Amino acid sequence: MLFLLALALCFAFIGSALLFLTRKSTYQRLHEHGLRTNPIYRWQFEKSQSVQMRVVNFNRRFLRGVASISVSIGVLLFCGYLVRVADPFRGDKFDPQTWAEAGLCKGLNDGECAQKERTCPRGGMVHDLISNHLISQTTRSETVIKLLGQSTYDIQINGLKCPGYSLGMCSGLGLDYDSLFVCFDQNGTVAFAGHVQH
């Protein structure tokens, strides 16, 4: 997520700098400075004054268009970052293999495993999982075996003992763990599911 923020700031900064440099008065001063000091630049504009100004104005409008697009991309990326920070439980499609791999620390030392958990590796799949996979007709065996794997702990929810699955450190300040819980009814089908911080 920090990469997304850095990318957003980069696009916004480049776009803002271009907008500043292509203000009419600033761009005209840069053009005149280039004519005085840069022989290659001056050679490009050895035309009539009217043709020269048309080229300068076209270049300025083009750069302002690029700047506006860059700022817009930066704003969109920043909004995407805010959405992920505000709701880390959305954004990714649920995939059983990705889910399984995200919950493993095989080949990692304790520090690397803790770092992986801090990234909330399963969090983004929760909304899609609950909305599209953990529906009321889903049985315990289908859920545990085919979708999520075997739960290693239970969570008490509304007096029920529900299988829990670690999501990582997703919500709040990222200091506490979040878990997915899946509660079943007497028939062994999904009664409800959700996530909890603890």
Q: What is the pLDDT of residues 88-112, one digit of tens each?
A: 888 899 999 999 999 888 888 988 8
Domain borders along the chain are 2-86, 96-197
Q: Helical H runs in the chain?
A: 2-21, 24-37, 39-44, 49-86, 96-102, 110-118, 126-132, 140-141
What CATH fold (topology level) applies to the domain 96-197?
A: Beta-lactamase Inhibitory Protein; Chain:B, domain 1 (3.30.1450)
Q: DSSP code of 89?
A: T
Considering the chain, what is the average pLDDT of its residues? 85
pTM: 0.58
Task: Taking residues 71-95, report their average pLDDT.
Answer: 82
Evaluate if residue 69 carries a pLDDT over 90: yes
Evaluate if residue 65 carries a pLDDT over 60: yes
d(CA 146, CA 193): 16
pLDDT digits (tens, 9 = 90+) for 35-56: 888 887 777 777 666 667 777 7
Evaluate if residue 179 carries a pLDDT over 90: yes
